[in-house]
Amino acid sequence: MIPAFFTMNMSFDEYHLIFPRIIISLLIILAVVIVIQKIIKMIRKKEKRSFSFRFFSENYDAMKFYGTLLLLLLYPLALGLIGFLPASILFMFAITVLYAGNFNKKTIIVSISNSLLASIAVWYVFGRLFEITLP
Amino acid sequence: MLAFEIITPTTILLCFLGVFIGIIMGAIPGMTATMAIAIFLPLTYVLEMVDSIGLLIGLYVGGISGGLVPAILLNIPGTPSSLCTTFDGYPMTQKGEGEKALKIGITASIIGGFFSLTILYLFAPFLASIAIDFSSVDKFLIIVFALTIIASITKGGLLAGIFSGILGIFISLIGRFPDNNEMRLMPPGLEEQLVYGFSLLPVLIGLFAIGQILQEAEDGMKPATHQKKDLNKPKQGKKFSLKIFNGQYINIIRSSFLGTFIGMLPGVGGSAASITAYSQTKSFSKHPERMGTGEPEGIISSESANNGLIGGALIPLLTLGIPGDSTTAILIGAFLLQGIEIGPLFISSNPDLWSGIIISLVIANIVMFVLMFFSIKYFAKIVFIPKHIIFPIIIIMCVVGSYAINNGVMFDVWTLLIFGLLGYIFPKIGIQIAPFLIGFILGMEAEKYFIDSLKGSGGDLSVFFTQGPIAIVLWILIIGSLAYAIVDNQKSKKNQAST
């Protein structure tokens, strides 16, 4: 006789739930074990330092990081509103200036040429030559 | 020759182009072969299957090989797999032998490439013919093995690795289960967009490319120190000659073999191949004390191993449908785009495509060698392109690629951004990208085989232990990989304690 523990109830209506349930249980078990391990480690070290978790590296560049996030969020929205070419050129100009980190003449020229060249090249090669749907 | 009936001039041209772009992307620190393939994958949508394979294989070979340029010249590995090339490559540059070191690396690369190609060609059809008889139970266990081995090898703890893999499976389950068309795990409000779950490609590109860019943005996009300093003209040191390779035959074969073998292990990437080969070369070397001071031996071992990886990584992909590393994981996307199923039947039912892959590998390796050997001076300049020019272009390509992959779905662009953010956050909270990705790719398959196995047994779970010799071998492998991880973990803890 096979112990009942090793048998699963298989009904057609529930096929889609069997595996996810197992996976979720495994995730929870592992998460608990990992947390317990971390706590044991902390106790063993006798809390030489209190819980210190640093998400950002030291001296992280807040402007470039949040700037990138913001621009990445705005870009798809702009694509829907004003179309591929204008949105891409604006986006690339903004992000190139952001990354170059200054606003002098040389940066502006580089940004403009980079955004124009790259956007038009992508538009032409993907959109016209290969007829891929562009946003 | 039959070859020219399969391969067209377009294929060769695209392969050439792929290698060229691959070398450039591999040479830019922070950009990897994986990223190169991910960005160009959407483009293959409009190509013939053989042509797209030519392009992608070219990118793969070029991307892995290009990494040696900054590794040797600047002490920065262009891709993770050329990590060990820096140990002996950079000291040679400091001695004014940069060009010689580059040429040694290139030559070792092509040898490693051809070695692994031969193994792929001979071994894959054989493995596939065995794999045809695998049952659902065996296939499920292979996927479990793929996950345990990758979790056991990645740094950062076995438990965290397994957790990452299972989390990947969890994400992949979102959507409709094909057997009974029921939805599960749906975030409210997104039922329409997520019927088929998240698309593979935006997830991949997001995790790798966008995640990397966010990380660089956090670090301030600073020009790496090398971009400020001028590379002094290499003094005319000793010239490169094939004589350097005298007495290195065993080293080359051992390193290429290790690279190929490690490539075959599911989910284990290039840096592991190069590190293993390098440490083996060191322990077998006649002058281990000289390793790391500019010995050609070290470059040869690292570079032949990382190119050996390519053929190896393709073996589980083409015979079992399980990717050998994150780069081949993206290649799955290419086959999916063309509606070709990868698995044990792939080689026998697509003989033309199989030859196409082999021929593309041959061409890519030759092109890589010729391009790099004769124009290495120009490729060396690539490492000086500033990031603020390259990264915006990459972002645009990623967005266009994600949007185009399913013929214009805006939700895929949001998927790209969501997973880009996750790709940035995950490493910081201890979740590893590689096992997560493998879990995500294989999750649906794992579920299918799991349910199929249980259907066969009427819900009896013991079917996973009692089903024939293959299952038993797989259980031994699974337990072995876990045991290895635990022992290895203890060892490194002891080492830490003693120092």
For chain B, give the percent of residues with pLDDT over 70.
Answer: 92
A96: left (phi over 0), alpha (psi -120 to 50) or beta: alpha
pTM for the model stands at 0.81
Least confident of B165-179, B214-228, B482-496: B214-228
Q: Within the 29-48 window of chain B, which residues sit less than 8 Å (CB to CB) from chain A?
A: 42-43, 45-46
Alpha helix (H) residue ranges in B46-97: 49-66, 68-74, 85-94
What is the pLDDT confidence band of residue B1, given thresholds at 50, 70 and 90? Answer: very low
pLDDT in tens, B113-150: 999 999 999 999 998 888 888 888 888 888 888 888 77
What is the per-residue pLDDT for B267?
63
What is the spatial distance between Cα B259 and Cα B281, in angstroms, rounded to a whole number? 12
Kindly identify which residue of chain A lies nearest to residue B157, measuring between CA atoms. Answer: A34
What is the spatial distance between Cα B395 and Cα A76, in angstroms, rounded to a whole number? 12
Q: Provide the terminal-to-terminal Cα distance of chain A, rounded to the nearest Å.
A: 61
Mean pLDDT of B33-44: 82
Q: Which two tokens stand for residue B119?
A: 């193994």
Q: DSSP states of B364-428 as a string?
A: HHHHHHHHHHHHHHHHGGGGGS-HHHHHHHHHHHHHHHHHHHTTS-HHHHHHHHHHHHHHHHGGG
What is the spatial distance between Cα B351 and Cα B6, in angstroms, rounded to a whole number? 10
Q: Which residues of B266-355 form beta strands (DSSP E)?
A: none
pLDDT in tens, B412-471: 899 999 999 999 999 888 888 878 888 888 888 889 888 888 888 877 888 888 878 888
B236: left (phi over 0), alpha (psi -120 to 50) or beta: beta
What is the per-residue pLDDT for B156?
66
What is the pLDDT confidence band of residue B43, given thresholds at 50, 70 and 90? Answer: confident
Which residues, other chains included, contact B145 with Cβ-Cβ below 8 Å and sequence gap of 6+?
B266, B474, B477, B478, B481
Mean pLDDT of B36-63: 87
Specify the residue for token string 């290790």: B258
Mean pLDDT of B487-497: 72
Candidates B40, B218, B440, B489: best to mutate against A (most CBs of A within 10 A) is B218
What is the per-residue pLDDT for B235?
47
Q: DSSP states of B86-99 as a string?
A: HHHHHHHHHTT-HH
**Whether pLDDT at B229 is above 50:** no
User: Contact, B270 vs B61, CB < 8 A?
Assistant: no
Whether chain A has a CB inside 8 Å of the CB on B230: the answer is no
Q: Which two tokens stand for residue B299?
A: 């470059």
Which residues, other chains included, contact B144 with Cβ-Cβ below 8 Å and sequence gap of 6+?
B446, B474, B478
Residue B455 and residue A68: Cβ atoms within 8 Å? no
What is the pLDDT confidence band of residue A54, given thresholds at 50, 70 and 90? Answer: low
**Whether pLDDT at B16 is above 90:** yes
pLDDT in tens, B179-226: 777 888 777 777 777 878 888 878 888 887 888 888 888 887 665 554
Q: Which of B391, B446, B454 sits opposite A99 (nearest CB)?
A: B391
Which residues, other chains included, contact B164 with Cβ-Cβ below 8 Å and sequence gap of 6+?
B151, B426, B431, B432, B433, B434, B435, B436, B439
**DSSP symbol at B206:** I
Helical pair B136-153 and B296-320, crossing angle rounded to 10 deg: 160
Q: How many CB atoms lie within 10 A of CB B475?
A: 15
What is the spatial distance between Cα A114 and Cα A107, in angstroms, rounded to a whole number? 10
What is the spatial distance between Cα B162 and Cα B153, in angstroms, rounded to a whole number? 11
Mean pLDDT of A101-120: 85
Helical pair B49-66 and B98-131, crossing angle rounded to 10 deg: 140
What is the per-residue pLDDT for B29?
73
**Whether pLDDT at B239 is above 80:** no
User: Contact, B194 vs B415, CB < 8 A?
Assistant: no
Candidates B47, B55, B393: best to mutate against A (most CBs of A within 10 A) is B393
B339: left (phi over 0), alpha (psi -120 to 50) or beta: left
Q: What are the distances in angstroms from CA A121 to CA A116, B6, B143, B359? A: 8, 31, 42, 31
Query: At CA B267, angle to CA B263 and CA B268, rounded to 5?
Result: 50
What is the per-residue pLDDT for B116?
93
What is the per-residue pLDDT for B232?
47
Average pLDDT, chain B: 83
Mean pLDDT of A72-94: 89
Q: Longest Cα pair distance anywhere in chain A, in angstroms?
A: 83
Candidates A27, A85, A99: best to mutate against B (most CBs of B within 10 A) is A99
Cα atoms in the 13 Å half-sphere on the side-chain side of B301: 32
What is the per-residue pLDDT for B227?
46
Q: Which of B159, B184, B461 sits opposite A20 (nearest CB)?
A: B184
Pick from B87, B127, B126: nearest CA to B105: B87
Complex ipTM: 0.85
**DSSP symbol at B429:** G
What is the spatial distance between Cα B62 and Cα A115, in angstroms, rounded to a whole number? 27
What is the pLDDT confidence band of residue A48, given thresholds at 50, 70 and 90? Answer: low
**Whether pLDDT at B32 is above 90:** no
Which residues, other chains included, contact B176 with Cβ-Cβ below 8 Å and sequence gap of 6+?
A16, B182, B183, B195, B196
What is the spatial distance between Cα B311 and Cα A63, in angstroms, rounded to a whole number? 43
- Encode A26-62: b = buried (16+ Cβ within 10 Å), e = exposed: bbeebeeebeeeeeeeeeeeeeeeeeeeeeeeeeebe
What is the per-residue pLDDT for A107?
83
Q: Which two tokens stand for residue A121?
A: 């090249």
What is the spatial distance between Cα B79 and Cα B91, in angstroms, rounded to a whole number? 19
Q: Distance, in angstroms, between A66 CA and closest chain B CA? A: 8
Residue A65 and residue B218: Cβ atoms within 8 Å? yes
B175 forms beta bridges with B184
Q: What are the distances in angstroms from CA B240 to CA A4, A31, B64, B100, B273? A: 71, 54, 22, 5, 26
Q: Which of A15, A23, A92 sits opposite B396 (nearest CB)?
A: A92
Q: What are the distances in angstroms from CA B411 to CA A76, B166, B177, B405, B417? A: 10, 24, 20, 11, 10
Q: How many CB atoms lie within 10 A of CB B191?
A: 12
**DSSP symbol at B29:** T
B177 forms beta bridges with B182
